[in-house]
Amino acid sequence: MTATYITTTIPYVNARPHVGHALELVQADVLARHRRGRGDPVRFQSGTDDNSLKNVLAAQAAGVGVREFVDRNAEAFLALGDALSLSVDDFIRTSRDRRHRPGVERFWRACAHDLYQKRYEGLYCTGCEQFYTPAELRGGSGGSSPPELAQRDGCCPEHETEPQQVSEENWFFRLSRYAVPLREAISSGRLRIEPAGRRNEVLAFIDAGLADFSVSRPAERAAGWGIPVPGDPGQVIYVWFDALCNYVTALDYGGEGEAWRWWGGDGDRIHLLGKGVLRFHAVYWPAMLLSAGLPLPTAIFVHDYLTAGGRKISKSAAGAAALEPATLAAAYGAEAVRWWLLREVPRTGDADFTVERLTARADDELAHGLGNLVNRVVAMIRRYRDGRVPGAGPVPPGGEELAAAIGQAGDRIGAALGEFDFRQATAAVWAIADEANRFVNRARPWELARDEDAAAQLDAVLGLLARACSALGRELAPFLPDAAARITRQCTPGQDGRLPAPSPVFRRLTPASPGPASPPARVPAGSGTAG
């Protein structure tokens, strides 16, 4: 048993959530559920970054008070827990949570030996909440601009907006001291960064030389929003310093609570995050932890971005409401949204979301491939065996691949999730359904049922198919928990020893096409004799 602490990043609440936010939440939820299913103690944490200057600017633009604006958007993020069936244990809001501010202040003091004041001039992107050197901006000597984007020299590579020239007195953190221990932790794997390309990116960044970074802002520029620097109320703590601390403040950092074991113990500490905030999590945060004398995370899993219909997802774009995860879940079901995110988004590289892809994937695999299979098998067992599942026997001829898919699924899923590969993990589940459908069409139980001499063979075929359905109910649990429970109910005999009447496990999202694809001898759902 490994105690596991899993976190998502805490998004800015300058707008409502979009489908890109759902990716990280669903991935983290699957890891949490999978480890809980293994018997590991798990704490899964999410939250919102309320203290960003971006939130202040967005509220001003909307003509709404910052508090009201932040609360409203944070509520929409919190509501994703129910909308997407997330098993979140703790949700921290950095402006509201009573644990956060004292924890950040304590963390600041723990790093005091690495903090100093300096006048600073630089180019600042409010979108990123970060200073850029000219080389890092678009068109700069160090930048590499994707060819598909129009070149706008001197702009933020992430936001394509012009940075502000800022000159101010700030507190700085002595990041430069930590290059050697950071490099050692990452290259030794003590701090694992996946995929490997992201680890190499971080190592190259460290090797290029680490400059100290500014960790405060004048309170005036932050419109008074944020956490004042202890002992220097004219400055507020830089929002990234503040936000990164959420991973430990929610565990009662510096307090006496038992929650601290999730960070202070010897279990796994896993951060999930998007590629855009890699540097903050893989360089700044571990250096802050080293400075404060705290353990490092054990793993950082980095995902790429979603596009929508081939375009970058923008919170303010027209049609943004249609890309809200809660809207999608209400229209197509949380399971269709989860399944698309897990089945189609690759481990590396961006993925393009469209509603057509979402519904096609759900209809092909969930309604047709998985749902029909379970209904057919249950209907056949009720029709040919009075609802009693035949006992386990030898694998019938032609059933070897299916038996292998069932037997290997657990290990394949464990290995894939260990590599943060959700496509491989769901492929192992899908292999059971796929092989089972092939096997039904090969074994043709409806013909065996007409042959009195084939009774033992029919038992073996139905027995293996029943095993396949039970395995689907079991292995699907981390990915689609509610569907897994429905399948398990369908495959569990009642008090009379018989399987319950089949009912649809998934609904179709689009009308079935009348094409020639239907297999000829399908046992229709609900056609069991005892129904």
Binding site for Zn ion (CB under 5 A): 125, 127-128, 156, 158-159
Least gap, CB of 128 to Zn ion (angstroms): 3
The residue annotated as part of the active site, out of 34, 100, 111, 125, is 125
**Would residue 125 show up in a list of annotated catalytic residues for this protein?**
yes
Q: CA–CA separation, 243 vs 8, rounded Å?
A: 12
Burial 93-106 (b: 16+ CB within 10 A, else e): bbbebebbbebbbb
Secondary structure class of 321 (helix, strand, coil): helix
Active-site residue flag, 128: yes
Task: Report the C-alpha gap between 176 and 174 in whole angstroms.
Answer: 5
Q: Is 155 a catalytic residue?
A: no
Nearer to Zn ion, 158 or 201 (CB): 158
For Zn ion, the closer of residues 162 and 169 by Cβ is 162
Residue 113 annotated to the active site: no
Least distance to Zn ion from the beta carbon of 135, Å? 15
Under 8 Å between Cβ of 409 and 435: no
Radius of gyration of the chain (CA): 27
Of 54, 111, 155, 156, the active-site residue reads: 156
CB of 407 to Zn ion, least distance (A): 49
What whole-number distance in Å separates Cα of residue 193 and Cα of residue 182? 12
How would you classify residue 170: left for phi > 0, otherwise alpha for psi between -120 and 50, otherwise beta?
beta
- Which is nearer to Zn ion, 111 or 125 (by Cβ)? 125
Question: What pairs with residue 171 in β-bridges?
Answer: 117
Q: Which is nearer to Zn ion, 129 or 434 (CB)?
A: 129
Beta bridge partners, 272, equal: 301
Catalytic residue at 118? no
- Among left, alpha and beta (phi > 0; psi -120 to 50; other), residue 319 is left
Taking Cα atoms as reference points, which of 204, 211, 203 lies closest to residue 176?
A: 211
Q: Indicate if 159 belongs to the active site.
A: yes
Minimum distance of Zn ion from residue 336's CB (angstroms): 33
Q: Report which residue type is found at 7.
A: T
The CA distances from residue 428 to 129, 414, 491, in Å, are 41, 10, 20
Single out the catalytic residue among 245, 315, 368, 491: 315
Enter the tokens of residue 358: 């979402």
Concatenated DSSP letters for 159-203? Answer: T-SPPEEEEEEEEEE-GGGGHHHHHHHHHTTSSEEESHHHHHHHH
β-bridge pairing 216-218 and 42-48: unpaired
Catalytic site includes residue 368: no
Closest approach of Zn ion to the CB of residue 126, in Å: 8
Dihedrals phi, psi of 108, to nearest 5 degrees: -55, -45
Nearer to Zn ion, 161 or 354 (CB): 161
Q: By C-beta, is 140 or 254 nearer to Zn ion?
A: 140
d(CA 191, CA 343): 27
CB of 18 closer than 8 Å to CB of 312 = no
Strand partners, 91: 46
- Taking the complex as a whole, the smallest distance from the CB of residue 137 to Zn ion amounts, in Å, to 10
Q: Find the shortest distance in angstroms from Cβ 127 to Zn ion.
A: 4
Smallest separation, CB 136 to Zn ion (Å): 10
Q: Could you tell me the smallest distance in angstroms from the CB atom of residue 214 to Zn ion?
A: 16
Catalytic residue among 34, 100, 111, 128: 128
**Cβ proximity to Zn ion, 213 vs 479, nearer residue:** 213
Contact yes or no for 20/468 (Cβ under 8 A): no
- The Cα–Cα gap between 431 and 519 comes to 19
Using the minimum distance from each CB to Zn ion, give the nearer residue, 156 or 248: 156
Between 122 and 254, whose beta carbon lies closer to Zn ion? 122
With beta carbons less than 8 A apart as the criterion, state whether 443 and 398 touch: yes
User: Is 312 a known active-site residue?
Assistant: yes
Count H helices and E strands in the chain, helices first: 21, 16
Catalytic (active-site) positions: 18, 21, 125, 128, 156, 159, 312, 315
